[in-house]
Structure formats: C-alpha cells, structure tokens
Structure 1
C-alpha cells in the first residue's frame, strides 16, 4: 500500500529584519515527508533549521511558498484554524523540554488532551499509557525538578504523542543531554517510529543522531538538499 504524504512544503522563503538589514533565513526550501518516515535535518547554527521547523510546525509563517499538512494547505488559515491544526496534527519536542515545573509528569502529558477536551478519565489513562510507552511509568507523580534531563525528555515525547498527531517535530531533542541519555532518547524515538509508525522530523547538529534516520537533509543557503552519506 502506498504511503501518504503527511508533510509537504514547496519553495519556502523567509527573511527577518535586523534594523534596516534584511536577513534571509530560507531561500526556496522544499521538503516532502511520507507517513512513517524518520527524517533528520542537519546544518550549522544560523542556517535556518529552527526557522524551517517553526514554519513546518505552524509556529511561524513563510513570506512565500506552499505548505500542506495531511494534504491540506495551511497557508492563509486563521489563528483558530492553525491552533486546531497544531493541536491534532503536530507534536513538538524541544531541546529545553518545555515542561511546566509545577506539574507532575502525568499532568504535563495531559495538557494537550485538556486543550482537546478529552475527559479526565480518558486523558489520565492515556497519559499513563504513554508514560509506560516511553519507559517511565514510575515517575508519573514526579515534577520536572525531580527528574534527569533524559527523563524530562521522555515526558516531553509522551506529551507530544498525546493527541496521536500525524507528525512529531523535534528541535535538537538531544542538545541538552549527555551521550548515554542522547542515545536512549534517539533509540526511543526510533522504536516509536518503527513499532507505532510515528512520523518524525528531527532537526539536529549531532551527526550520530542524524545517522539513525531513514533520510538526511542538509540545509544550506536557505535550501534543503538530500544527503547520501555522512
């Protein structure tokens, strides 16, 4: 059975203004991601990786270009429509985890489901299932300050999966972790990808992380290029 395209961007352009200076970040970037793929995007600091991910995740808008999530064009959608799309179609994993410090692991994972209107009974059961899936069911009542960086990132991954999104976008997900924790987080994401069919797009400067992907793209001069080997 042919896999569907879950993410497609064509000819994205984005510039920023620093005073009177116009700084181009993307100069015609295009990408197509199939359902169940694990794609890595690499490039040096300042190359536009995070700008690209923010646009793909509907956190920012391009100056021009086309963007489709699950076959639907998202260019021109209003704020409410974009929020709805982010809630159901996209999961985010950040370098700094972005967990709410006063909430437990379980409560952090519940947040997307609260926003989606899921009943308390269902969301608690789902959150526990996800914490078990990422290997930390015993930490459900722990707050972020009571967890290691790797454990916090596992909570963040569980939260990203809460509403069963079409795609997970991860921005330097191992950037704050030691080598052992980094390897564990990459293995976790790859296992979720292989066993659950979860689609991942991972932005990273870590070539060891990139080598674990099905496909590697390099961002250079604001465009994306396929990488055959590293």
Structure 2
C-alpha cells in the first residue's frame, strides 16, 4: 500500500477584495499525494492552483479543512513548527526563481542548509554536488543576472533539494522559459522523481508539461478532479 505523504481534506479558502467582495478560491478541495508521485495540477488563471499549492506547502492556512504532511495534521501548528516542517520536508520551486541577486549560484543553494545549521564544509560539498546534478556546476560562481532563465531555474531546483526534502512543490516552474529550457526543466524533474524517488507536485497551465507527469488533477470551481487523459 502506497504511503500518503500529502493530504488535504475539504479545504475552503476565500479572499476579501478591497471593495469588500469575497472571492472563493477553494471550495472543498481534496487531494492525496503518494510517496514517489509526480503530479500536475492544471486549471485556468484564478482557479485556485497556487492557493492550493501554498496550503500544501504550509505557506498559507485554509479557512476550514485540514492538511496532513506524512500523516501529521498541520493546521493550527505554531509558525515555528510549520517552519521546521517546511525546512526539513518540503522544497519549493517558483516561477520567478526567487534567487538572491547578490549571491552566487553556489551561495543561493547554500541558503536552506545555513537555516538548517549544516556545517560550512558539508554544505559547500552538497551545494557543489547539487549544481552538478542539475547540470550547471560550471556556473557555481555566477550571480543570477549572469544566468539564463533556464539556468536560474536549475539553481532554484538545486536549492529546493538542499536539505534532502521528500517533497518538491513547483509553481509554474516553466512559466518564464522558452520551449527548450522548459523541456530541460521537466526532464530534470522527471529524473529526480525516477532516480531519487522525490515526490513532485507541479502547478502548471502548460498541458505539455502536465502530459509528462504520472497523474493530472484539474481544479475547477474550487475542487479537484482526476483527469484520465489530456
């Protein structure tokens, strides 16, 4: 029986606009993500994809419902407890890369390990190893402005892997990339999934990206539906 590493039950989330209008984002969303899954969540802009990902990544809290990470309910935990789970178990990849511009690629990859208290020698070794895994070890001393979009996203993926999380959450990871760079990023994520057993959840509007995953869920009217075929 497959282990469920991420589970959301009956999530509701509304946002209040400046005018006082309430906009529903999630309306009873449910999802189970199994260990070793490579899952895509698709849907139009404004459908709640990023809201859901932020709930799964403990970056936001639902108005009601529950989120479980490795079977542990997390809604209601303190900020420190949530931070610790994010630091140890979950890696994040964003559309905008979110790299620190004044730091080199190597230093950007080090950041999560610094937060986790990893000794300098060990984190340098791991950061270099991760840049080699994602295929840009020759760019270790380059700053983000000296890298292409695809190279920056590879640094972001290496950073997401820094503390050996079992789960990677990616929000439109190919959204700012050209076709070739997109294909490289998807291939890299698929390789991490196959070779390392890393669980990946990818939010995307790109059906070509979704087709390369193992499971596809569509978000519609604030709920999730399994897609049999794209």
- What is the TM-score when the length of structure 2 is the normalising length? 0.98
Distance in 1 (CA, whole Å) between partners of 2:77 and 2:163 is 21
Distance in 2 (CA, whole Å) between partners of 1:192 and 1:229 is 24
Write the deviation string for residues 190-218 of structure 1: whole angstroms up to 9, x where unpaired: 00100111110000000000000100000
Distance in 2 (CA, whole Å) between partners of 1:60 and 1:76 is 11
Partner of residue 103, structure 2: 103
Structure 1 vs Structure 2 CA RMSD:
0.6
Instruction: Look up the SS of the partner of 2:183 in the other structure.
Output: helix
Partner of residue 149, structure 2: 149
Distance in 1 (CA, whole Å) between partners of 2:166 and 2:81 is 16
Partner of residue 14, structure 2: 15
Partner of residue 62, structure 2: 62
* Post-superposition offset of 1:20: 2.0
Partner of residue 218, structure 1: 218
Distance in 1 (CA, whole Å) between partners of 2:89 and 2:107 is 21
Distance in 2 (CA, whole Å) between partners of 1:180 and 1:200 is 21
Partner of residue 136, structure 1: 136
> Unmatched 5+ residue regions in structure 1?
none
Asked if the contact 1:70/1:166 (under 8 Å) is kept, the reply is no
Aligned pairs for 1:149-188 within 5 A: 149-188=149-188
Partner of residue 85, structure 1: 85
Distance in 2 (CA, whole Å) between partners of 1:84 and 1:148 is 32
Distance in 1 (CA, whole Å) between partners of 2:129 and 2:30 is 36
* Post-superposition offset of 1:142: 0.6
Instruction: Look up the SS of the partner of 1:101 in the other structure.
Output: coil
Distance in 2 (CA, whole Å) between partners of 1:56 and 1:198 is 16
Q: Write out the 4+ residue segments of structure 1 that deviate beyond 3 Å after TM superposition.
A: none
Distance in 1 (CA, whole Å) between partners of 2:147 and 2:21 is 43
Instruction: Look up the SS of the partner of 1:77 in the other structure.
Output: coil
Distance in 2 (CA, whole Å) between partners of 1:137 and 1:97 is 18
* Post-superposition offset of 1:3: 2.9
Aligned length: 229
Instruction: Look up the SS of the partner of 1:76 in the other structure.
Output: coil
